[in-house]
Every structure is written in structure tokens, then in C-alpha cells.
Structure 1
Amino acid sequence: MRNYKRRRENDPGEDGLTSKQEEAGQGGARTSAFDPKLIEPYVVKDPETLAVNVAKAVENLGKAASVWLAPRERGEIVDPLSEPMTELVKTMSKVAEYWMSDPKRTLEAQTHLMAGMFGMWTKTISRFSGDATEEPNLQPLKDKRFADEDWQRNPFFDFLRQAYVILSEWAEKMVTQAEGLDDHTRHKAEFYVRQITAALSPTNFVITNPQLYRETVASHGANLVKGMKMLAEDIAAGGGDLRIRQTDTSKFKVGENMAVTPGKVIAQSEVCEVIQYEAATETVLKRPLLICPPWINKFYILDLNPQKSFIKWCVEQGHTVFVISWVNPDERHADKDWESYIREGIDFALDTVEKATGEKQVNAIGYCVGGTLLAAALALHAQEKNKRIASATFFTTQVDFTHAGDLKVFVDEGQIGSIEDRMKSSGYLDGSKMAAAFNMLRASELIWPYFVNNYLKGQDPMPFDLLYWNSDSTRMAAANHSFYLRNCYLNNNLSQGKMEIAGKTLSLKDVKIPIYNLATREDHIAPAKSVFIGSALFGGPVEYVLSGSGHIAGVVNPPDKLKYQYWTNGPVAGTYEDWAATAKETPGSWWPHWQAWVEKLDNKRVPARKPGGGALNAIADAPGAYVLARV
């Protein structure tokens, strides 16, 4: 019975539709007969004005094309689109080879597709002919892209939607059911299919999106005029590459309404500034707190505004908070590798903390790749008998990259070699490349909705601090980025005890200090299972905590917002699935739970400290100069 149900979910029945498609309202049995009044909003009432505006839109599109072509004609951009397309074609050709190599398999694939299409076509014809024998069911669809009711009510758009869903599901099955693919090729193929189907969704085109069609008719094409103007502006802002605006950037300024927790820059190296924040309590915890953020984005994700600031909250709990603000590297930093970032970043910050407070030990926090660097530093410190970090907290940090998610799609010897060749000339990887990769991981949320709203609807995006931070990308120093890709994503050296830094081979088993390891349930960058597996690699006690939401919102979750939840389940043991199945759920933020964990380690307090103490003078007010450098 179970096998029959599974087949029925994925294989078409007599009507040519799978049970999943029927449940999603993709069968005509759940739609009403055709009502001619439904076409009224789509009738052009002022063709002359529409024609004029379409001409203006085409003119603006021509300007966008000129802005795109200009830097390429000048030789300033030599990164052709052919490179990723070549990778896509090479990957998908391996899938096609499986299905085309055997005539029987080719027929099977065609039959599966045609059965679904024929069933859907038959029911659509019945609707156009006025067959009202079926009861309508216009319940909202789960896919937010098809929220407009005309995706079901209007038979033309209903047909497009159903055809798209059937084709998308068919394309996905062609990958999942193809045999003989290695795991990496299959992963890439699944990723590329999702990118293609997301791009070709009928919601992304004026003629095939009912809401866009109606708005274009109602505004006589004025939306397209403004949209194409915005397209030209965004290509110009990207220096010849499209930089889709996801928020109103005019509403934010770092140091004025973002990253405003009071503090001072008290030290500076070639790779970082060290910020110490002013105390907000009369007494503070004796052991200072040092935060090591990722260098792929800027540190102020932890200090977006006073309401969301983890840094401000920590200060208010009595921590003396120090934060590493990484430099936005250029050609001068080409040779800065992981050893440089440890010595001139983490170790430099530890020296600064000791000078400013007199304390020889700190509690440390590492976020994402900043946490991976911190873990490597801890393993190196263990061999060097350096005990200055007494406890470590990791936010969404991977030390084992076996299950590293969709970012692994971009990592193989050929692609890394191509990235390294690109970095040789400049000494760094442009931040827009990483930003584009991260956006592709969630293209249906971070690319296409903004493409539609900005360029087809002609709407300005709403101000959103998180998306402003997301667009404030940073460059990656060549040596540092190459080391990261090869040692973590490609070869997984840290987890296997093979990573070499400063002439030493690192082992995480040497790390005996207490660790608080935070994962987020919906993380697409550092999956919760990947973080869980990494927890078992350390040699000391590990508190694994799972937070609701994703890579950012699951971390930046102030207690007073009463959002999400977190799970705990004692020591890390067994599989992630078993741990999660029996974990205890607690509503709200994990921040107080972490604070209790820190204070249980050491809750001694001393009088509040001033930035720099008596040993170091302030260089600048927080957030400093390094964070202000934009790509």
C-alpha cells in the first residue's frame, strides 16, 4: 500500500495528473467554467498611449544595453557569461545522455511528460467550452508566486500555471531518476534545474503573469517605462553588471542609523580593526567577549539597529564586547591567507583585549566562516599551548563540509581553478560574485520577485535594513579565498585533521574548551545537519542548540520580539535526525539561554571598563573606517 501511494504521488493516473498536482489544484476539476467577463481587465482601452509608452520602455531598455556593453567594449569586464553557461550545459548534457542513450528510456521520459500535459489540456478545453459540471475550488496555492486568483480563475493563466508545474516536476524527475551520475554532478544538475525553472516561471513575464498584464493595461505601459529606467540605473550601479536593488538604500547609512552602538576603534592591523564598545552597566563580566564575524559580509549584521543588535544586547548583559571589523581587501591584500587572518586578525584582537582590560582569557564568538576560522585558530592555539580563548560560541558555523548545501555546486577543481585565474589579475574576488552566488541559492526569493517588482511593475523596493546589509558586499583576498575553497568545501581538510597552517597539521580533537554550537533549522548556507556533525569533532564538551528560521534571522533574534524558538537536547550523540526528534522546544530567542551558559562558565564581575583602558587610545568612533569601504 505504501509503495502504491508513493507511485501515485509521482506518476500520472488515468487523467494524466499526479496526486501531488491534483492536491495543488493543478487539475481542471478544481476550477470553474470559463466566464467571458474575466478577460475585461486585460482589454487594452488606449492602444495609442500604450504604444507610446512601449516605445519609451524600449528606448530605456536600449540605454540599459548600452550601459551593459560599454565596459565590455572597453575591456574593463572580461568575465563572459559563457563560463557559467558552459558549466550548466556540460552538467545537463550528462543527464540528457542517460535518457537519450536508450530509445526505451527516451520514450518513457516523453510518455511521462505527455501524459501529464494531455490530462491538463483536456480539462482546460472543457473549461473553455463552458463545462460547469465541476465545483470550483479557488483556495490559495502554496506557491506564493501564484497568489493572484486569476492563476486559477482564468483558464488561460490556469493553463500556463499547470503546464509550468508539470514541466518543472518532469525536469526535476529527469535528474533524480537519471542513473550513473556521481553525487556532485547530480547535485549540480538539481541546482541548475531549479535555477532554470525559477527563471522560466510564467510569473516573470508581462504577457504570462495576470497581475503584470492587468497593471500594464491599467497604466498604459507606464510601469515598463519606469522599470526599464530602473534596469539601466541598476546596471550602471553594478559597473556593467546587473545589481538588482532589493531595498531603498537611501534610507540607510552605516554609523548613522545602522551600527550605532557606542564604542571606539582601539587598534588596527592590515586586515582588521578592533572595536571595543562602551559599557552600559556599572559592573561587567570579568571575562571579555571577542566576536569574530565572517569577512564575506560586514560585522554590523550583529548591530543592525538598536532593536536588533546582538552587540548592544550583550553590552546590556554586562559583557565587555570587542568586535573584529575585517578590511575590505584590495590588491594589497592578495597574499593574505588564513594564517594572516589568524595572526593579524584573531591573535591581534586577543593582544588588544589583553592590553585594554588586562585579562588573559576571553569568551569568543565566531559567525559562519568567521567561526570556521576561529575553529582553525583554536586547533592551532592548542598545539602552541595558547589558552587565551576560554570558551567558544559558533553561530551557523561548519567545520565539516560533507553536507554543506548548495554552495558546493560552485566548488570543484575546474571551477576553483577558474576563480583562482580570475583573482590573479586583481588580487581579490569581487564581492558581487559572492553576492550573486548567495542570491542564487534562493533565487525564487532573492532574485525573481525583485526582478518582477522593479523592472516589470516599476515599483521602488521598500526599505529593509537586512537587505541593505546583504547588498553591502565585500571583496575576498585571493590567497584567503583560495585556501577557504580548497581546504573546506573541496577537500574538507579541517574535519579530517589535514588542514595545515603555520607548518602545523590541525586537529579539532585538540580543542578541549567548552563550545556552544548554534545551528538554524532552515539554514541554506550552513545546514543544521552539517553543524551537528561538526559538533562531534571537538575534543571538549559541546552544547548544540538549534534555532528556528535561517542563517540570519535565526541568529539575529532579540528576546523582546518573541519570535521563533530553539531546541536543546543535551550532549551531541547519534544522528541529527534522532537528536531533533527528541529535542526540547523552547519558545522565543536563544539569546538568554546562551547568556546563562556563559555565566555558568564564569560569572565573576568587575567595575565597568572604558574603551582602550589606560593603555590604548581611541583611533576612531565605532563602527570605524574599514566597514565603510564599499565595493
Structure 2
Amino acid sequence: MPVPSPIPVPAADAQAAALDMQARATVARLTGALSPMAGLLAAFDWAAHLAASPGKQLALGQLAVRQAQALTREWAPATPDAFAAPDRRFRAPAWQHAPFKAWQQAFLAGQQWWDAATHGVLGVERHHEDLVAFSARQWLDLLSPGNIPWTNPEVIEATLREGGANLMRGLHNWMEDAGRQATGAPPAGTDQFRVGHEVAITPGKVVLRNGLIELIQYAPATPTVHPEPVLLVPAWIMKYYILDLTPEESLVRYLVAQGHTVFCISWKNPGEAERDRGMDDYLQLGLHAALDAVQALCPRRKVHAAGYCLGGTLLAIGAAAMARDGDDRLASTTYFAAQTDFSEPGELGLFIDESQLSLLEAQMQQKGYLTAQQMAGAFSMLRSYDLLWSRMVGDYLLGHRAPMNALMAWNADATRMPARMHSEYLRRLFLDDDLSEGRFPVDGRPVSLGSLRLPTFMVGTVTDHVAPWRSVHKLHFLCPAEITFALTTGGHNAGIVNPPAPDSRRSHRLLTRPADGPYLAPDDWLAAAPTHAGSWWPAWQQWLAAHSGAPIKPPRMGTALADAPGTYVLER
């Protein structure tokens, strides 16, 4: 029996698909690529199941009555706080006086009630529950009495004391920020931290340049060095120099001073021309091209590779592929705040479902990339108090600009993401979790994290909103390697930029799981890991030294294409 011929796709269907794509791109432009359909589905799921839950309704009604009674007692003289959980929005002493205390306590009661209302409704899909709860928090943050001039005692006091001068300064600040945003200029104060002048100034040379990376080799600072070089793989969602900020905050400079030969990848800031760069390109032109160059300059030496955030995920993928293919060029792997299992990605997962991705992909198809502003907008929503409301109150109502620092200036120096790569990243890693499930392909064949057996050092940060430390910790479950895990205070960026300092208030926990050792779940690990004062940098450096050979003379410097920090990092 003859095999039927494939049915061709009618031109009308292709036109319909193109029209749908254009419509979604239009919606994405109007909504900042936040899907209204996803929000409506989540709201309907929650509301419908709440309507069918009389027990939950009764419990919420009882909570409201208890809160009303507590608020009545709270506003009476000489009574203990009913809502005494610390909230940094209301820590100023003026919030403890009438009528401001009543307003902030009523707000906290409402926040407590909505938290109870949006959680624990039977039948609601977990993603929808998280999305509804997140949306409720965003609206509540908007309506906080701390954001309103006439209900914020600090603003009222400053206005009366200064005769309104604070508001005039705030207006000036707002006009300056609006003008900078309209012209694409960086935020005020960033000119104090110029790349190659105040930050990213560790001496070095660009020794490789291709269509995706520049590779920087840093000049030695000691008469002898550890024989195995260190290759840093930062995320391309950010500029590399977070690892080489000011001299006092530079991880690169610290490693060089401890006798390590350091190389670092600087990614090209992609534009429309790079729209078709995918994850395989980032492996071949990024990780593998860098390894080839490092070993050409340090022949017969294995490499300590360290990846940060998405760069760490890429390193894990590359290391698994190298193990599969018998490539033994790596001496060890280190992962800074890098996820390999995306089943619990944290609040970033709120923006990742089929509805959201359909808008993002439509918009990226037109532009060829995801804009830096879209990335910044998503992170601002995740940390709305720190990045939006506290700044609004401080800069515009109190008229006091927060002083710029190197990390803040770096954070404002945002990058773009190629359309193909970002779609693969969101779908194959975040949405489908292909890497931890053994389905992620490299060169057409899947890789397995279970093949990772190199000595491994990992860093998680306590308040990480991008890569939650419990998610980072999951590599313990996925591979049998020896893993030394450090959990440090701080967030996704400040926890990594953690230089040793005698007066540091930082601390970290540290514990090593031997190769093929038993799995410790995150809470069990937390109970077993001892706490150490100060930065984790010395612990990592000592770990690197312990996995290195006897000191040798520094290797030769490669042919210089440019001085560090190179040219790609300067692209806007």
C-alpha cells in the first residue's frame, strides 16, 4: 500500500499563524510582555475554587473578625502590638504614633488577610496560586501608606521641617530620571564607575575574540602560580565585570593575588544580527572556544572552570557533554548561584508559562532579542520594595538620592538576550526542565548530569530571588560528585560579591558531601553545616589550591588583541 504524501500547509494557515504572531507581539508591547490571559486564567481558577470552598470562606471571615478585634485593641492606649512582625517599611519611630500606627497596622492586617486568601484554596493549580498571591502583593505594595505623601510620617515631617524643599528636590530627581530614561542615558551617579577606569581595571589582555566572546587573560601578580588555570564563565544576562568591580570588590583580582592564572569570558551584547544564536552556539563559541584558548596558553594543564548564574548552568551542560564524550580537560567545576534543576525556580517562574512565552517569543521574533529594559522590569517586580517603592519614597518624596555604588552601577549596565537562545533557555530549562530530566541535547544527543564526577564547589545565597539556594542545592541529588556547598548571606549578586573584610558582618555555612556520599536534603544540610564568620572567598580559594598541583612559573601571556576590559563589555 503506498505511503500517502505529506499534506502541505496551506498558505492561508501560514498567514493565519503570522497574523497571530503579530497580534501577540502587539499585546506584548502594550503589556510589557506580561500576559493578561495568564493573569485572567489564574484569577478565574482561584476565584472559582474559592467560591466552591465554604470552609475557606468561613475561615477568612473569622480571620477578618479576629483582625478587627485585634486592631480595636491595638489602637487603645498601652496595649501590645497585634501585628508585631517586623516590617522595614515601618521601622521609623514616627510610625508608632497616631494616626500612623493605625494606618500601618490596618495595612499589615490587610496584607495578612490577602496572604491567607490567596493560599490554601483547594483545587487551585500551584502556578495559578503563586501568580494570584504575587499579584495581590504587588497591589498591596502599591497601596502601602508608606508610598503616599500624606500618610507617611517621615515625608510629612521632612516637608514641614524643610518647607517643602524635599519635594522640590524630589521633583528635580524625577525630571532628571525621566529625561535619562527617555534618552537611554544611564542612571544618575553611574559615571562614577566607568568600565576600565574605576571598575574592571585588573590588568589583563584580550587573547581571543570571536562572534560571541572576548577572552581576557589576567596578568600574574605573584612570582609563582598554581599550575591549573581558572576560567570564569559569567552569565550573558549581565556584564562580566561583576566579577571584577572595584579593586576592593574584585574576585578576579583576589584570585590573581592568591597565585591563580585567571581567564574570564566577556560576552558580546547581542543585537538583531545575533537573533539565531542558540545554546549550542554559547557552548561552542563560548565555553569550548575559551577552553581551547586557555589550553593553548597553558598546555597539558587541566582547567578549574567556574560559572555564575546562567553561566554556571551552561558550564554544567558543557561538563556533562564533555564527560559523555570523554573530554577530560576540566580539573574541577564551581557554580555560583547557578541552577541545574528548574522544577522549583523561585519567583522567576511566575513569568514563565505557555501564555507568557507566546508573547515573549512573538516580540523577540520581531526584534531579534529580548531588551535589557524587559529584563530589568521583571527583576524590579520581584523586588518591588527595594527597586521601586523605597527608591520612589527616598528619591522623590524625601528628596534624598541613595548613593551610587559599584554594584548598583553594574546592575544598571544591562544586556540583551538573543531570541533563539532565550526561547530555548526558557522552554527547555525553565518550562520543561529538560536538563535535570536527561533530555537536554548537545550536538543532537542528550546529556546527563549523573555523569558529573569532577570535584565541585557550589555557592548559594540566602536571599536569592533569581536562583533560590534550595534549587541550587539540588545538584546534590542529581549527580554523585564530591560537592562542597557554601551558603552565604546576601542575595544573588551581593552574596557573590563578598570580599574578605575584617569588619564584615557576612557569614557562610560550609559542608562537603564526599563522592558517592548520601544525599542530604536542604533542611538536613542546613542543620548539619557549621557556620563560619566572614566571606566564602578564602574557603573557595583554599579549595582550589587543594585541588591544584605544586606552584610553577606563570604561563606566557597570549597575543593581545586589546587591553582588558576589551570592547564587547562597552557595547550598549
Assess if the C-alpha contact under 8 Å between 2:186 and 2:412 holds in 1: no
Could you tell me which of 158, 168, 179 is aligned with 1:215?
Answer: 158
For residues 191 and 463 of structure 1, the distance between their equivalents in structure 2, rounded to whole angstroms, comes to 29
Match of 1:166 in 2: 109
Cα 1:79–1:119 change in 2 (3 A) is same
5 Å-filtered alignment, 1:16-55, equals none
Per the TM alignment, residue 283 of structure 1 is displaced from its structure 2 partner at its CA by 0.9
How far apart are 1:410 and its partner, in Å?
A: 0.7
**8 Å CA contact 1:500, 1:506 repeated in 2:** yes
Match of 2:538 in 1: 592
Opposite residue 586 of structure 1, the aligned amino acid is H
Give the AA of the match of 1:524. Answer: H
Q: Is the 8 A contact 2:53 2:122 kept in 1?
A: no
AA matched with 1:117 = A
Partner of 1:455: 396
Q: Give the secondary-structure state (helix, strand or coil) at the position aligned to 1:343.
A: helix
* 1:551 correspondence with 2:492: yes
Q: What is aligned with 1:532?
A: 473
**Matched AA of 2:547:** L
- 2:353 matched residue in structure 1: 412
Does 2:197 match 1:261?
no
| 1:413 Cα deviation after fit | 1.0
Encode CA deviations 1:246-301: one digit per residue, 9 max, x unaligned: x7223211110111111111111111100000000011111111100011111111
Give the aligned residue type for 1:186. Answer: E
**Distance (whole Å) between structure 2 residues aligned to residue 526 and residue 550 of structure 1:** 9
TM-fit CA distance, 1:97: 2.8
1:467 alignment partner in structure 2: 408
1:264-303 aligned within 5 A: 264-303=205-244
SS of the equivalent of 1:623 reads coil
**Distance in structure 2 (CA, Å) of the matches to 1:176 and 1:139:** 19
CA 430–339 in structure 1, closer or farther in 2 if over 3 Å, else same? same
Partner of 2:430: 489
What's the offset of the Cα at 1:108? 5.1
Distance in 1 (CA, whole Å) between partners of 2:485 and 2:153 is: 47
Moved over 4 A (4+): 75-78, 101-108, 135-141
After superposition, the Cα gap between the structure-2 partners of 1:79 and 1:221, relative to the gap in structure 1 and judged at 3 Å, is farther
Contact 1:412 1:490 in 2 (8 A): yes
Distance 1:491 1:264 in 2: 40
Contact 2:33 2:356 in 1 (8 A): no
- In structure 2, what is the equivalent of residue 338 of structure 1? 279
What amino acid is the match of 1:337?
G
Evaluate the alpha carbon distance shift between residue 623 and residue 309 of structure 1 in structure 2; reply closer, same or farther with a 3 A threshold.
same
The alpha carbon displacement at 1:354 in A equals: 2.0
* Corresponding residue number in structure 1 for 2:30: 80
Provide the TM-score with structure 2 as the length reference: 0.89
SS at match of 1:496: coil
CA distance in structure 1 between the partners assigned to 2:370 and 2:199 by the alignment:
26
The answer on 1:188 being equivalent to 2:131 is yes
Q: Confirm or deny: 8 A CA contact 2:305 2:333 kept in the other structure.
A: yes
Opposite residue 81 of structure 1, the aligned amino acid is: T
User: For each residue in 1:340-385, what CA deviation from the matched residue of structure 2 results, as whole angstroms up to 9, or x when unmatched?
Assistant: 0010011111111122233452110001110000110111122232
- Give, in angstroms, the shift of residue 335 of structure 1: 0.6
- Pick closer, same or farther for the CA change 1:83–1:365 going to 2, 3 Å: closer
Aligned residues of 2:28 and 2:363 also touching (Cα < 8 A): no
1:528-578 Cα shifts (integer Å, max 9, x gaps): 211221233224322222223222232222223444222233316231111
1:117 matched to 2:58? The reply is no
> Counterpart amino acid of 1:149?
P
Q: CA deviation at 1:238?
A: 2.8
Corresponding residue number in structure 1 for 2:507: 565
SS of match in other structure, 1:492: coil
Unaligned runs of 5+ in 2: 1-24
Q: What's the secondary structure of 2:123's corresponding residue?
A: coil
CA 1:392–1:107: 2 relative to 1, 3 Å: closer
Segment drifting more, 138-147 vs 312-321: 138-147
Conserved? CA contact 1:234–1:244, under 8 Å:
no
Look up the SS of the partner of 2:30 in the other structure.
coil
Distance 2:27 2:474 in 1: 41
Q: Is the 8 A contact 2:186 2:413 kept in 1?
A: no
1:199 aligns with 2:199: no
Equivalent residue number for residue 46 of structure 1: none
1:94 and 2:45 correspond: yes
Deviation at 1:234, TM superposition (A): 2.4
Instruction: State whether residues 71 and 82 of structure 2, in contact with CA within 8 Å, keep that contact through their aligned partners in structure 1.
Output: no
The correspondence of residues 316-335 of structure 1 with structure 2, limited to 5 A, is 316-335=257-276
After TM superposition, the structure 1 stretch with the greater mean CA deviation from structure 2, 90-99 or 249-258, is 90-99
Point out the structure with max Rg over C-alpha: 1
How far 1:590 sits from its partner (Å)? Answer: 1.9
* Matched-pair contact (CA < 8 Å) for 1:361–1:388: yes
Match of 1:606 among 539, 552, 561: 552
Alpha-carbon distance in structure 2 between the residues aligned to 1:567 and 1:468: 29
Q: Secondary structure at the match of 1:344?
A: helix
Alignment partner of 1:152 out of 96, 101, 126: 96
Aligned equivalent of 1:230, options 173, 194, 219: 173
SS of 2:307 mapped into structure 1: strand
2:131 is aligned with what amino acid? K
Structure 1: runs of 5+ lacking an equivalent: 1-74, 127-131
Counterparts of 2:541 and 2:56 in 1: how far apart (Å)? 59
Q: For structure 1, which segment, 465-474 or 216-225, has the greater mean C-alpha deviation from structure 2 after superposition?
A: 216-225
Query: Number of aligned pairs?
Result: 542
* Residue aligning to 2:522: 576
Match of 1:4? none
Structure 1 position 622, deviation (Å): 0.7
The answer for the alignment partner of 2:297 in structure 1 is 356
- TM-score w.r.t. structure 1 length? 0.81
Matched residues in 2 for 1:113 and 1:273: separation?
59
Distance 1:113 1:141, change over 3 A: closer
Q: Within 1, Cα distance between the matches of 2:69 and 2:35?
A: 32
* CA spacing shift, 1:323–1:107, aligned 2, 3 Å: same
Q: For 1:265, what is the secondary structure of its paired residue?
A: strand
User: What SS does the aligned partner of 2:487 have?
Assistant: strand
For residues 300-355 of structure 1, give each alpha carbon's deviation from its aligned partner in whole angstroms, at most 9, with x where no partner exists: 11111111111001001111100000111100110111100010011111111122
What is the CA-CA distance between 1:103 and the residue it aligns to? 6.6
3-state SS of paired residue (2:332) = strand
Q: Which amino acid in the other structure matches residue 45 of structure 2? A: K
Q: Aligned partners of 2:56, 2:260: CA distance in 1, in Å?
A: 64
Distance 1:119 1:240, change over 3 A: farther
Distance 1:531 1:135, change over 3 A: closer
Q: Sort the Cα spacing of 1:530 and 1:255 in 2 relative to 1 into closer, same or farther, 3 A.
A: same
**Secondary structure in 2 aligned to 1:185?**
helix
Aligned partners of 2:64, 2:259: CA distance in 1, in Å? 63
Q: 1:590 to 1:266 in 2, by over 3 A?
A: same
Q: CA deviation at 1:104?
A: 7.0
- Flag the 1:406–1:240 CA change in 2: closer, same or farther, 3 A: farther
**Kept after mapping to 1: 8 A contact 2:27/2:359:** no
In structure 2, the CA distance between the partners of 1:88 and 1:205, relative to structure 1 (3 Å rule), is farther
SS of alignment partner, residue 396 of structure 2 = helix
The residue type equivalent to 2:88 in the other structure is K
Cα offset for 1:101?
Answer: 4.4
CA distance in structure 2 between the aligned counterparts of 1:244 and 1:122, rounded to whole angstroms: 50
Identical amino acids, percent of aligned pairs = 35
SS at match of 2:304: strand
Contact map agreement 1:494 1:508 (CA 8 A) in 2: yes
> CA 1:565–1:459 in 2, change beyond 3 Å: closer, same or farther?
closer
Find the aligned partners of 2:128 and 2:186 in 1 and give their Cα distance. Answer: 29
CA–CA separation in structure 2 for the residues paired with 1:419 and 1:77: 10
Distance 1:103 1:391 in 2: 56
2: CA distance between counterparts of 1:305 and 1:591? 16
Q: Secondary structure at the match of 1:169?
A: helix
